[in-house]
Amino acid sequence: MKKHPLVRELQPLARPAIRRNNAVTALWDRFATAVTNSEFVTVAIFSAIGFLITLNAMIYFPNLGAIVEQYNILP
């Protein structure tokens, strides 16, 4: 019996598109996990309520900035 020399073939390189797809999938999974976190949702809702209250005050009291400035003048 003849012993054949051990031949190792090079493995084909992974295509960059496949790595990119896995990276995009991992990024999307991390984003979805962060958005569905209950603490994040609580902070986002609290911030949105504060923004809406501020926007409402700006609409109903357009001169509020001038009034605050008047009271901030030092005697």
The three state secondary structure string of the chain is CCCCCCCCCCCCCCCHHHHHHHHHHHHHHHHHHHHCCHHHHHHHHHHHHHHHHHHHHHHHCCCHHHHHHHHCCCC
- The pLDDT of residue 48 is 97
In a domain, 31, yes or no: no
Per-residue model confidence as pLDDT tens digits over 15-34: 655 555 677 788 888 888 88
**Number of domains within the chain:** 1
Overall pTM surpassing 0.75 (yes/no)? no
In a domain, 42, yes or no: yes
CB-based contacts of 34: which residues, under 8 Å, 6+ apart?
40
- The pLDDT of residue 8 is 73
| Range(s) of the domain holding residue 58 | 38-75
